[in-house]
Amino acid sequence: MSRRISAREKAVKQATGPVRAGLLMRKLYAQRYIQVMALLGVAWMLIFNYIPMYSVIIAFKEYDIIAPISAAPWVGLDHFKEFLTDENLGYVIKNTLGISLLKLFIGFPLPIVFALLLNEVRSVLFKKSIQTISYLPHFLSWVILGGIMATWLADVGIINKLLMALHLIDTPITYLAEPKYFWTIVITSDIWKELGWSAIIYLAAISSVSPELYEAATIDGAGRFQKMWNITLPSIKGTISILFILAISGILNSNFDQILVLRNSLNETASNVIDIYVYQVGLASGRYSYAAAVNLIKGVLALFLLLGANSVTKRLSNTSLF
């Protein structure tokens, strides 16, 4: 009996195999334009993301730009050892982690709070106006915003004039020349630029929450704060978790464009982060192998941070990237 059943199953599989293949081919043909678009995206990713990864081997070589990579002599782990024993490594790591962690702890929750508050605004015109004004700075480059910040923070800038008018300071302060103010300037300007734009994804997640939940909560006598805490936040928990994982994985990135524009020789002790260090010691000096080695270390650490954050978030909220 068992042999007859197995033979029957084999016959069914042999018969359904071509049918499934035919259905798949018809489906692919019906979606041929979409498939071509997808294949173009895959090709772009392979050409610009994966094939260039071959060049990572220059981190283990002494690469000269005028010669091919294959001709560069192997130096092994020399560049990695040099970076890990650099006397400037301590304050470079300190600045990188200090700025990134402050951005994470301050800049990450603020768009969530802003989206929650904006969602409670009943006037559509006022809501759209605030939203437009808040994410407008995102579309300006850091070159422009850096110039604005430098003008505002100058000796004769609006910040000094306002503080002196309020009798909070007696003499003007050159903020960008003082290392102790640099982190505050970087974090504040980053929030100003990205607050509204970062809130868009949370507003989109909030819009998918069922209105029936709010109606039921209203009948039960819940106020606005109780609705936000017990309905809105739990409903967008997945979105918050995913963005938090991505934020953790990028903690070694300190926004190169922003810091390059705002830094100078006077605030160097507070502004020299890993990206600036790679630019100065590696690229500006023509030490491409050394720059590749530092970036490789940074990439490996980012991978471990991503895996760790994904694992922790999965255990705490049952939400993860993979």
Tens digit of pLDDT for each residue in 94-118? 999 999 999 999 999 999 999 999 9
Structural tokens at position 276? 């600036």
3 pLDDT more than 50:
no
pLDDT digits (tens, 9 = 90+) for 240-279: 999 999 999 889 888 889 999 999 888 989 999 999 999 9
Q: Which domain holds residue 115?
A: 78-317
Report helix, strand and coil shares of the chain as percent, to nearest 5: 80, 0, 20
Residue 34 lies in a domain: no
Written as six digits, the tokens of 210 are 């069922």
- Pull the structure tokens for residue 82: 């040099």
Per the domain annotation, does 82 fall within a domain?
yes
Q: Report how far residue 195's alpha carbon sits from residue 191's, in angstroms, rounded to the nearest whole number.
A: 5
Q: What is the pLDDT of residue 202?
A: 93
**What does the pLDDT read at residue 1?**
43
In this predicted structure, the answer to whether residue 69 has a pLDDT above a threshold of 60 is yes
Supply the pLDDT for residue 19.
66
CA distance 106 to 50: 34
At residue 114, the pLDDT reads 94
Within a domain: 48: no
Distances (CA, A) of 157 to 153, 164, 175, 184: 5, 11, 10, 17
Question: What percent of the chain clears pLDDT 70, i.e. is strictly above it?
Answer: 94
- Asked whether residue 143 is assigned to any structural domain, the reply reads yes
Torsion of CA 249, 199, 194, 319, to 10 degrees: 0
Q: What does the pLDDT look like over 212-228, one tens digit per residue?
A: 888 888 888 888 888 88
Surface-to-core class of residue 11, CB atoms within 10 Å of its CB (0-12 exposed, 13-18 middle, 19+ buried): exposed
- For the entire predicted model, the pTM comes to 0.82
Q: What is the mean pLDDT of residues 15-26?
A: 72
Looking at the domain assignment, is residue 2 inside a domain?
no
184 lies in some domain = yes
* 23 backbone φψ class: left, alpha, beta (φ>0; ψ -120 to 50): alpha
**64 occurs within a structural domain:** no
- Check residue 24 and give its pLDDT: 82
d(CA 278, CA 258) in angstroms, rounded, equals: 15
Tell me how many domains the chain contains. 1
Maximum alpha-carbon separation in the chain = 99
The reported pLDDT for the residue numbered 2 is 44
In a domain, 30, yes or no: no
SS3 (DSSP) at 61: strand
Q: Domain holding 221: CATH number?
A: 1.10.3720.10
The predicted-structure confidence for 171-192, as pLDDT tens digits, reads as follows 999 899 999 999 999 999 999 9
